[in-house]
Amino acid sequence: MDPINEMAETLKLLGDKTRLTIMVLLKERALCVCDIVELLETSQPNASQHLRKLKAARLLNETRKGQWIYYSLNIEDKPHIQMILGHLPSLKENMDQLKNDCD
């Protein structure tokens, strides 16, 4: 895929509020699905569907810790995505309220 098409597809993917919110959350730290479900107040299948799309676009990494899979950003080689996320407000305060039931 040429760079312009790839960027257009990535920007289309991030045009979804839920996926963009997931990216902003992951800017703070790696999270498991249960954390994302709690923060977004959504269902596990819904969160997993959005994570699957972001992973397919190579925007996320997965790391297994015990029975949980943690997601983190994979944007070191994507300065345009770094710039977009840099202009969005932090959701760190929301993350401080996590119950951490998954650990």
- Strands 60-65 and 68-73 come out as antiparallel
Residues near 99 by Cβ (< 8 Å), separated by ≥ 6?
A: 38
The reported pTM is 0.90
Instruction: Give the confidence band of 102 by pLDDT, cuts at 50, 70, 90.
Output: low
pLDDT tens digits for range 43-72: 999 999 999 999 999 999 999 999 999 999
Residues near 43 by Cβ (< 8 Å), separated by ≥ 6?
A: 37
Domain 3-86 part of CATH 1.10.3720.10 = no
The 3-state DSSP class for residue 54 equals helix
Contact indicator for 31, 71 with CB cutoff of 8 Å: yes
